[in-house]
Structure 1
Amino acid sequence: MDMYRSLEHWRELPAKHQPAWPDPDEVRRAAVYLRSMPPLVFAGEADTLKAEIAKAGRGEAFILQGGDCAETFADSVSANRIRAKIQTILQMAIVLTYGAALPIVKIGRMAGQYAKPRSNPMETRDGVELPAYMGDAVNGHDFTPEDRIPDPQRMIDAYHRSATTLNLIRAFTGGGFADMSEVHAWNKGFTENPAYKKYETIAADIDWALRFMKAAGIDSPAVRTVDMYSSHEALLLEYENAMTRIDQRTSEPYNTSAHFLWIGERTREWDGAHVDLLSRVRNPIGVKLGPTSTVDDALRLMDKLNPDGEEGRLTFITRLGASQIRDLLPSLVEGVTKDGRPVTWVTDPMHGNTITATNGYKTRRMEDVVDEVQGFFEVHNALGTVPGGVHIELTGDSVTEVLGGSEELSEEILSQRYETLVDPRLNHGQSLELAFLVSQMLRARTSGQPCE
């Protein structure tokens, strides 16, 4: 009973970026329903991922975390769109595997990324003020009173749609879709695009390595199937609390809504509700650290989320911006390293590089995304610490949301396929280009040679 009471302690603490639910009784009914439903993931799977993240923290693996800024209910019923995202992540992973000569830990921002914090809880258009869109798990995107009122039933819809997406992920990654030779065949198609011709040599090297493996009779299950884990920002406290269960093996609480949960830059107060709730579950946990983060912030978060220094438990995901990472990251890494408790470092090169184009579109520049990743590697290489992974907002579709890249997307092109409801994502080609560039950074780190 004491454990269950402790899981409710967050209710006594400040809780930022929560919806203004109009009817508390409806919220309670939704939570009761969610508690009656089967878990979306299992405790043993979360433990396995924790061990993989620990390897990344030691430099024995590399994390690739990617997916939508915010999933939508409309896309959740499209097997083709889900498959395209999985395909993109798998393609990136095989390129990174070749560059790093390490296992790639594949984590999707999928099967639960249905809620987003907003800077302003209200939005005004033409003199009309309505609640801001907080993701499909909270309200609708259309600017109408009916759509914008937070609806607890949407948390239930998010659960069921997450279950459907997870079923597809498991089917695709375990049913031959992830066969390494098939994934590489997709990458060969990528390099046939004249814009990406410069990566043809690396693709040919990967092809040669795969043919060698086939000729040598190497045919392990790892070549034909992969593990892909789910993750999302643990923003909606009522939902995350309802999805927390006691594992029968260990009698410990686990959040069963995803394998990996992270706390956002806007909700990472060490004495706040989000940190308290996730401090009480045994999943691997991430925290976003933005430009205002201090060493003291990081150490307080470690005290709260991983006081005993369990490997793989805590990941710091830095989102500092290309122009600041080389100045701000060193002190954070040095302070945490001096503490001695293990942390896995991952870079999010998306959120610190958001700009507004002259035509009003929210966007990012590919060159800034790449530069922040490069700065992340430079800092860790200089300090002798481990760059453990990348966290990317991406889609498997040919959207036009991020400027630049080898296809040289311009502001005039943004409107052609600008489909995101919140933040701009790398499209399929830009995602693969980033993978090839990070692959070169990983290889340079391993060989000790400068990255070209």
Structure 2
Amino acid sequence: MSTDLDTWRELPALQQPDYPDAAALAAAVAELQSLPPLVFAGECDQLKERLAAVARGEAFLLQGGDCAESFDVRGADALRAKLKTLLQMAVVLTYAGSVPVVKIGRFAGQYAKPRSSPVEKRNGVELPSYRGDAVNSIEFTAEARIPDPQRLVKMYNASAATLNLVRAFTKGGYADLRQVHAWNQDFVADSPVGQRYEALAAEIDRALDFMRACGVDTDALSSVDIYSSHEALLLEYERALTRIDSRTGQPYGVSGHFLWIGERTRNLDGAHIDLLRKIRNPIGVKLGPNATADDALALIDALDPEREPGRLTFITRMGTGKVRENLPRLVDKVTASGAVVGWVCDPMHGNTYETANGYKTRKFTDVLDEVRGFFEVHRSLGTHPGGIHMELTGDDVTECTGGGHVIDEADLHQRYETACDPRLNRTQSLDLAFEVARMYRENH
């Protein structure tokens, strides 16, 4: 493989594990290099075309899934619940928002997390921070927190198993749009948003009946395309899974269809930018409240010098108190430059706080208000609000407060199951989808 792909090794590489055994790391990387791709270059190109439609204002991106995946999750039930939630949100956005929806899961690779501190303290004991199952263990012991490079191989195997299940569910009939009621059977009776979804599903049934009566073949609705994504944080893993496409001779990251660079690692002279600028996948960059318009333009020059629609998506994570103030300058200046990028709102990461009893959480009202501010900015500028990027689960967890089934801070302990950041549960996710569909209609 081209040595040009290794220039990142000479640059500052933030948020990387400090592996104590270089030989063990080299062995794990060699094993990864010998394994088949997790995704294929042609699939990445197809996604890039669909994200180009998002950037042009012709489609909407729904991206969601776990904050950090866990090796301990076994079986198909958890993934099925997550997919069901994404599918239901997509149905709401497509039908109620009257817009094609590009669906991307935060799965099959989201096993590593950047951390604000390299160490964690509990009861006077200081240990290295948990950096995700791809690096070390969440167990609070000195041995468990040692970075283990063999976990990179475990990440590959877990990602492969996840992708196999996703393909089985989405191509094997489970995602058939004609089954929209079946996705709701466990949910409708005691849930106001479930009843609202069921009413929408009945409308879809009538529309499909009309299409069939007119002789339209609805078999094409039996499967959907859901792409995989994760933060391209661990550079040894991403480099080992960078392959040269036999069709084009170009390098692709075959660890996932859509890879993004986080707010903490988007430094222009850094290793993450250097590696991802050379792969041909569609890529994203997180922009926090301190990002400037000049930062955005410099990132475009670095990552999308050919100005290729669909290549670059900016995922903004401003926080509800700053999105209306900070986002307009970025969108206005990028638009004036002539670059065609996708604009997506991550309303989760800028709205996290810790409760008095130590739970990290987010208020549903803050999440919703940041999305509302994102839409307001784009409406005022005449630009396209391209999508939402969510941390969510299909399980009935109690990690974020508020929503239709109101969860308050006293309820958080009941099912607080995240390994890292708090996620919206299924009810909150669907509540959000209905509100986003309404905002989208108002914008158009």
- Normalising by the smaller structure, the TM-score range is over 0.9
The alignment yields a C-alpha RMSD, in angstroms, of 1.5
Which of residues 359, 372, 376 in structure 2 aligns to 1:361?
359
Say if 1:284 and 1:312, in contact at 8 Å, map to a contact too: yes
The amino acid that maps onto 1:80 is D
Whole-angstrom distance in 2 between the partners of 1:31 and 1:200: 48
> Structure 1 residue 152 and structure 2 residue 119: aligned?
no
CA contact (8 A) 1:91 1:184 kept: no
Q: Which one of 61, 65, 68 corresponds to residue 67 of structure 1?
A: 65
Percent identity, aligned pairs only? 61
Q: Give the counterpart of 2:434 among 428, 432, 436.
A: 436
Q: Distance in 1 between matches of 2:395 and 2:203?
A: 26
Cα separation, 2, equivalents of 1:440 and 1:210: 22
Relative to 1, partners in 2 of residues 1:40 and 1:436: Cα closer, same or farther, differing over 3 Å?
same
1:58 aligns with one of 50, 56, 59: 56
Alpha-carbon distance between aligned partners in 1 of 2:211 and 2:155, rounded to the nearest angstrom: 42
Aligned to 1:450: none
What is the deviation of 1:441?
Answer: 1.2
For residues 381-438 of structure 1, give each alpha carbon's deviation from its aligned partner in whole angstroms, at most 9, with x where no partner exists. 1101111110000001000000000111011110000000100000011111111111
CA deviations on 1:318-376 (whole Å, 9 max, x unpaired) are: 00011111111100000111111110000000000001122210000001111111111
Match of 2:176 in 1: 179
Correspondence for 2:389: 391
1:136 to 121, 130, 133: 133
Number of the residue aligned with 2:190:
193
Work out whether residues 353 and 360 of structure 2, in 8 Å CA contact, stay in contact via their aligned partners in 1: yes
Cα pair distance change 1:99/1:120, threshold 3 Å = same
Aligned counterpart, 2:418: 420
**Aligned partners of 1:98 and 1:204: how far apart in 2?**
12
Taking the aligned partners of 2:190 and 2:441, their CA distance within structure 1 comes to 24
Equivalent residues of 1:65, 1:391 under 8 A apart: yes
- In 1: Cα distance, 2:115 partner to 2:309 partner: 32
Match of 2:236 in 1: 238
Supply the distance in 2 between the matched residues of 1:371 and 1:104 (Cα, whole angstroms). 22
SS of equivalent residue, structure 2 residue 343? strand
Letter in 2 for 1:78: G
2:372 to 356, 369, 374: 374
Q: Which residue of 2 aligns with 1:265?
A: 263
CA displacement 1:252-276 (0-9 Å, x = unmatched): 0000000000000000111110011
Equivalents in 1 of 2:108, 2:214: separation in Å? 38
Kindly tell me: are residues 227 and 320 of structure 1, through their superposed partners in 2, closer, same or farther at Cα, counting changes over 3 Å?
same
Shift of 1:199: 6.0
Instruction: Report the more deviating stretch, 279-288 or 215-224.
Output: 215-224
Letter matched to residue 249 of structure 1? R
CA contact (8 A) 2:320 2:367 kept: yes
- 1:351 aligns with one of 335, 349, 352: 349
- Structure 2 partner of 1:162: 159
Structure 1 residue 218 displacement after superposition: 3.2
How has the CA–CA distance of structure 1 residues 216 and 314 changed in structure 2, closer, same or farther, with 3 Å as cutoff?
same
Q: Counterpart of 1:8 in 2: which secondary structure?
A: helix
For 1:12-411, list aligned pairs within 5 A. Answer: 12-75=10-73, 77-187=74-184, 190-196=187-193, 202-411=200-409
Task: Give me the whole-angstrom Cα distance separating, in 2, the residues matched to 1:279 and 1:311.
Answer: 15
Do the aligned residues in 1 keep the contact of 2:212 with 2:218 (CA within 8 Å)? no
Secondary structure (helix, strand or coil) at the match of 2:112 reads coil
Q: Does the aligned pair in 2 maintain the 1:350–1:392 contact within 8 Å? A: yes
Structure 1 residues 358 and 208 mapped into 2: Cα distance closer, same or farther (>3 Å)?
farther
Structure 2 residue matching 1:378: 3-state secondary structure: helix
Query: How far 1:58 moved relative to its partner?
Result: 1.0
Shifted more, 265-274 versus 120-129: the winner is: 120-129
1:145-176 alpha-carbon deviations (Å, 9 max, x no partner):
22110000000000001000000000000000
**Per-residue deviation at 1:184?**
4.0
Q: CA separation in 1, counterparts of 2:209 and 2:130?
A: 49
Partner SS state of residue 108, structure 2: coil
User: Which residue is equivalent to 1:449?
Assistant: none
- The aligned amino acid for 1:431 is S
C-alpha contact 1:191 1:203 (8 A) present in aligned 2: no
Q: For the residues of structure 2 that align with 1:217 and 1:354, how far apart are their CA atoms?
A: 51
Quick check: 1:254–1:282 contact (8 Å CA) kept in 2? yes
The 3-state SS of whatever aligns with 1:409 is coil
Q: Is the 8 A contact 2:133 2:151 kept in 1?
A: yes
Paired residue type of 2:167? R
Bigger helix fraction: 1
Contact 1:57/1:342 (<8 A) preserved: yes
Q: How far 1:213 moved relative to its partner?
A: 3.1
Instruction: State how far apart, in whole Å, the 2-side matches of 1:388 and 1:291 are.
Output: 19
For 1:365 and 1:27, the matched residues in 2 are separated by 40
Corresponding pairs, count: 443
CA distance in structure 2 between the partners assigned to 1:191 and 1:439 by the alignment:
20
Match of 2:7 among 6, 9, 33: 9
- Whole-angstrom distance in 2 between the partners of 1:349 and 1:180: 28
Q: Secondary structure at the match of 2:243?
A: strand
Instruction: State the Cα deviation string for residues 57-93 of structure 1 (Å, max 9, x = none).
Output: 1111111000000000011x22100111111101111
The 3 A distance-change label for structure 1 pair 105 and 244 is same
| Structure 2: gaps of 5 or more residues | none
Q: 1:8 to 1:100 in 2, by over 3 A?
A: same
